[in-house]
Structure 1
Amino acid sequence: MNIRGALAIYRNELMRAFRTIFGSILSPVITTSLYLIVFGAAMSGRMPGLGGAEYGAFIVPGLLMLTLLSESTSNASFGIYMPKFTGAIYELLSAPVGVAETLVGFVGAAATKSLILAVIIMGTAALIVDYSIAHPILAFGYIILVSAAFSLFGFIIGLWADGFEKLQIVPLLILMPLTFLGGTFYPISVLPEPWQTLAMLNPIVYLVSGLRWTFLGTADFPIAVSFGFTIGFLVLCVGIIAVIFRTGWRLRE
């Protein structure tokens, strides 16, 4: 493996985030803080089925997952799309770096940005609401797993997109609504039928439930289901990327 090549891509992508620090880091943190303040104040004491947790503490994992999914996907998709847009992708393809180095560089940088955001958001949330993490090691591992999986997913979107509009279709029109409907602000158990059954068809429900379990110790679904789903999605994304690089689809057009 070309470690130097992978680190060069990684550093370049990571520095891009710090060059646009307001849009990449500060804006998501401010948005999440506003969600905590507004929803925490408006809904506190009015939501049943929280297992004894305060509403502000209950929505912290959901809001954290909302940021992780959107930022991981957007950062990775934009990172690989720009070389395609400018034509620099051909230099990358002719350089002595393979699929592994490319993924370590682009996906690793996108996942790192998401982890930085997660740490900042949890620190900011601690100033607004009183919450604790029941399983900190599992929470950290699960955050890394989700960041990596959706950075890979964003990488696929960046390869698929042939215009800036397509970069936003999946994150804004599919991923964001599914996250809001995935139990970010409420437990699935309080939904009446048939909405509770329909909610279980939403894959984001299991991701939010998994992170909420690591924070609160209780969730709508077993943690093994959430971990299994996330690992399966990560493996699927790696397989798709391997096929794309093997066939050159969207890379050599």
Structure 2
Amino acid sequence: MNLHAIQAIYIYEMKRFFRTIMESLLSPVISTSLYFVVFGAAIGSRIEQVEGVPYGAFIVPGLIMLSVMTQAISNASFGIYFPKFIGTIFELLSAPINFLEIVIGYVGAAATKALLIGVVILITANFFVDLDIQHPVAMLAFLVMICLSFSLFGFIIGIWAENFQQLQLIPLLVITPLVFLGGSFYSISMLPPAWQTVTLFNPVVYLISGFRWSFFGTADVAIGYSLAAIAVFFALCLAAVWLIFKTGYRIKS
């Protein structure tokens, strides 16, 4: 394992993040504040509690997931797409490092950025609602796994994308709608039975449900299903990345 290569890639990507750290961290703070004004105040005044949890606190895990997933994908996809765009990826591929070290460097940096943003949102939320996290270790574990999994997914998107527009295609048209329809701001038990069944086909439901369980001890689906969903998604992304480097898909051409 070439630790120097991993460190070089990781530090380079993190420096790019810290060059715009104010914009990177200020944006989620403003967005979170607006969500609390709209959802917490306007809707929360009509829905006092959901499953015994004050509505303002109930939406916090969903807010964190919405930002963390999109940021992990965005950072990882841009991180690997830009070397493709300017042609420096060929220098990377010709260096004495293997694909695993490249993936660890880029995905590790993207996951770190998403994790920092998730922590910032959690801190911001404490200014609006009282949060008592029942399972802090599980919460951190869920957050880290989701950051890593979606960073891997973003890495795949960055390899697949042929232009900057395609980088935003899946996050905007697929991930964001799935998060909004996956119980971010409501419990799926509030839906009619038929729609509850349909919603269970949304994989994001299991991620958000497990993450919310770590906060409040309540979940829309069993915690075992949530853990299995994260493990399967991570394994699929890892297998896809391995296949990309094995075949050279959109890298060597």
The 10-residue stretch of structure 1 (181-190 or 193-202) with the greater mean CA deviation from structure 2: 193-202
How do residues 48-63 of structure 1 correspond to structure 2 at under 5 angstroms? 50-63=50-63
Q: Secondary structure at the match of 1:184?
A: coil
1:150-205 C-alpha deviation (Å, 9 max, x unpaired): 00000000000000010000000110011011101100001013211111111111
Once the two structures are superposed, the pairs formed by residues 23-172 of structure 1 within 5 Å of their partners are 23-47=23-47, 50-172=50-172
1:144 Cα deviation (Å)?
Answer: 0.2
Change (3 A) 1:27 1:49: closer
CA positional deviation for 1:224 = 1.2
**Alpha-carbon deviation of 1:29?**
2.6
1:27 counterpart letter in structure 2: S
Is the 1:207–1:226 contact (alpha carbons within 8 Å) kept by the matching residues of 2?
Answer: yes
Cα distance in structure 2, aligned partners of 1:251 and 1:71: 23
Q: Provide structure 2 residue ranges, at least 5 long, that are not aligned to the other structure.
A: none
Rounded to whole Å, the distance in 2 between the matches of 1:163 and 1:215 is 39
Say which is worse superposed, 29-38 or 45-54, in terms of deviation.
45-54
CA distance in 2, matches of 1:109, 1:206: 25
Give me the whole-angstrom Cα distance separating, in 2, the residues matched to 1:221 and 1:193.
Answer: 14
Aligned match of 1:204 = 204
Give structure 1 stretches of 5+ with no counterpart: none
Aligned residue in 2 for 1:245: 245
Letter of the 1:51 counterpart: E
1:100-154 Cα deviation digits (max 9, x unpaired): 1111110000000011111111111101111111100000001000000000000
What is the alpha-carbon distance in structure 2 between the residues aligned to residue 217 and residue 45 of structure 1?
24
Q: Helix, strand or coil for the counterpart of 2:60?
A: helix
TM-score by length of 2: 0.97
Q: In the aligned structure 1, how far is the partner of 2:25 from the partner of 2:174?
A: 22
Per-residue deviation at 1:49?
A: 6.7
CA distance in structure 1 between the partners assigned to 2:23 and 2:168 by the alignment? 15
Give the TM-score normalised by the residue count of structure 1: 0.97
Equivalent runs, 1:181-200 vs 2, <5 Å: 181-200=181-200
Find the counterpart in structure 2 of residue 235 from structure 1: 235
Distance 2:250 2:57 in 1: 43
Contact 1:115 1:144 in 2 (8 A): yes
Between 1:199-208 and 1:156-165, the stretch displaced more is 199-208
Q: CA deviation at 1:24?
A: 2.7
Q: Is the 8 A contact 1:37 1:128 kept in 2?
A: no
Equivalent pairs counted in the alignment come to 253
